[in-house]
Amino acid sequence: MTAAEEAQIGRATRTLGRGVIWRRRALATALRRILDLLDLAGRAVVVAALIGELFVVLTDISIRYLSSESLLWSEEASKLCLTTLAFVGGALAYRARHHTAIEFVTRFFTPVARDAVAAAVDGFILCAALLTLWVSFDLFEVALTAYTPILQISNAWIVLPFNIGLGLIALFAAERLLFEHPTRQTCMVTPLVAAIVAAVAAWPGPRPDLAVGLALMLPLFFAAVLLGLPVSFSMLLGSLLFLHMTGAAPLIAAAQNTVDGTSHFILLTLPFFIWAGLIMEKGGISLRLVRFAMALVGHLRGGLLQVVVVTIYLVSGISGSKAADVVAVGSVLRRELRRQGYRAEEGAAVLSAAGAMSETIPPSIAMLVLGSVTPISIGTLFIAGLLPAAVIALFLMVAIYFLAWRRGTPRAPRADLAEVLKASGGAVLPLIMPVIMIVGIKFGYATPTEVSAVAVFYGLVLSILIYRSIGLANFFAGAVDCGLLAGMVLFIIACAGSFAWTLTVANLPALLIHLLHAVGDSPTLFLIGSMILLIAVGSLLEGLPVLIILGPLLLPIAAQLGIDGIHYAMVMLLAMGIGIFIPPIGICFYISCAVAEANVEATAKTMLPYLAVLIAGVLAVAFVPWFTHAVPQLFEGR
């Protein structure tokens, strides 16, 4: 062969290679565009469900107060809205990477190992979505035969968002495997994941009993969480694995209980309170509350850190989401903290501690979730949580003062009367919202769902008509953000409902009671043990699943030991709050570090004294029940 012929063959080969590469890129671009369109359509559906349900609830309130009647079908519409938000919104939240994962273990891996684990995580998510989708088709067929009592629509409409959401999750997981992970890791890990799933599915061995199945499933579940599998998918896989191993129930039970996890009407308060908090944040409400707090306590030692604690307390009465509170306050105060010479790590540590403190301030999402899975009055929870949070806030402020005094941190000048009055005037309208919520729910003027809808409406009036800080584009952007964040939270709750049912089938409540009897039925040991358990497990499971799983298990035991349910609920909420902010695993601890732009390791060391203060504060609340009962007794005139 001549040199010219070899050159010609080489050119032809290169041209062919470029053609193949171009076609692959064109195919990838086309697939990504299709997924982008599905994502956009899903966002439109979620926003429509959110706005539509807000309109229904507000209309129901108006009709009831004008004519003493109500929309009988509103609860059926709410179920459809909740399943849409939970499963379609949850799928979109997965694509937007809102489903947080623990990276404490994987960050010590080499980059190659970390990429392989990340690819394996998405591979398991793909398998979990496909397996649950396959099972959910049977659930859909069953739902086709039943109808809602008022609207007389097929129950399949309530199950359909579950099918769609699982399909979207499978597509988005495949998208990550194809386009976001290194090709080498994807090609190596995907067959391995498929082989593991196939081997488990086809395993012909003897079925273990329930106790052995639980002992096998729980370590695998916690290992998956520590390796970065988001807790919602870990719970879904754990339920499927336990049912498959033990044969305790058909796999359709996992799908059914996941859908049922969103069936509580009270859960509609979650997206509404999240939406109200986002409106307040985008409307500049957080800034007004920061100015108010600075006028009140900015002159104390550690002034800006004191402001962080007070502002978190105030903002928590509007938002309900701890992550949203931390972002709202941290983003406003970050630059001022640096300007006045505070270390970023100090700001992040106090931000985390204050976030943990605020878990009992209404309208805490954790309170709403606990009230939805236990027979505790949400109105009583709301007013009972104000003083315990204030006690721990006082503990933190004393610690900040002492540490600032030891370091010789200079004081800022005290605000004069004119500045205090101006700041107070800017904070009056936002602070009316928590008053409306607490009074409305406690005295029966409205349900928690109705109050949350009014909170959204009130926030819109403030931000659009009075402050003129939100336009139409910001309104829809906020609705999309709310849909994704609420979808992530509701998806976790749905999966936790299935996981909690699985643990009940596995007789975990009986095992806990047996363990309690073994240590002597001591209320003191039970309170301390509960705190340790909730802090440890709360740091792994992002908080809310802990309440759904352990709340119905631990509260009856507390009642048997003579511990008041409301008092024990405060201990649970505060301990869980420490868990989600505790370094180095707590999810919200990383959010605080990211917002404050602080180093994680340095912040963990800086937070140690504040962590000790938090634990001391929770112990004070646990062993001085008066802190919990004082405000409810005041409202009841006792």
290-335: per-residue pLDDT in tens? 788 888 887 788 878 888 888 888 877 666 667 667 776 777 777 7
471: left (phi over 0), alpha (psi -120 to 50) or beta: beta
Name the β-bridge partners of 154. 147
Q: Binning pLDDT at 50, 70 and 90, where does residue 20 land?
A: very low
Residue 453 pLDDT > 90: no
Residues 586/590/591/593 CA torsion (nearest 10 deg): 130
Query: Residue written as tokens 């920061």?
Result: 290
The secondary structure of residue 150, as a DSSP letter, is T
End-to-end Cα spacing for the chain = 105
Measured in whole angstroms, how far is the alpha carbon of residue 431 from the centre of its chain? 24
Cβ-contact 576, 546 below 8 angstroms? yes
More confident residue, 613 or 513: 613
130-178: per-residue pLDDT in tens? 999 998 998 999 888 888 888 888 889 999 999 999 999 999 999 998 8
Backbone angles phi, psi at 316, to 5 degrees: -65, -25
Backbone angles phi, psi at 147, to 5 degrees: -135, 150
Return the SS3 of 412. coil
Residue 555 pLDDT > 60: yes
Cβ-contact 291, 426 below 8 angstroms? yes
Residue 258 pLDDT > 80: yes
Helices 3-67 and 269-282 sit at what angle, rounded to 10 degrees? 100
Cβ-contact 594, 352 below 8 angstroms? no
Residue 614 pLDDT > 90: yes
Work out the burial of residue 594: count CB atoms within 10 Å of its CB; fewer than 13 is exposed, 13-18 middle, 19 or more buried. middle
Write the CA distances from 172 to 35, 61, 197, 356, 454, integer angstroms: 8, 39, 19, 33, 35
Helices 74-83 and 3-67 sit at what angle, rounded to 10 degrees? 160
Cβ-contact 579, 536 below 8 angstroms? yes
- pTM equals 0.84
507-533: per-residue pLDDT in tens? 877 777 777 666 667 888 888 888 888
Of the spans 10-19, 342-351, 384-393, 524-533, which averages the highest pLDDT? 384-393
Alpha carbon distance 597, 176 (integer Å): 28
Alpha carbon distance 488, 219 (integer Å): 24
168-216: per-residue pLDDT in tens? 999 999 999 888 888 777 788 878 888 888 877 776 667 788 888 888 8
Return the SS3 of 571. helix
Question: Could you count the other beta carbons within 10 Å of the beta carbon of residue 60?
Answer: 23
Which ranges of 145-209 does DSSP label H, i.e. alpha helix? Answer: 156-175, 183-202
Name the β-bridge partners of 147. 154
Alpha carbon distance 507, 631 (integer Å): 37
- Name the helix (H) or strand (E) containing 366: helix 365-373
Residue 6 pLDDT > 60: no
- Name the helix (H) or strand (E) containing 92: helix 89-95
Residue 331 in tokens: 């983003």
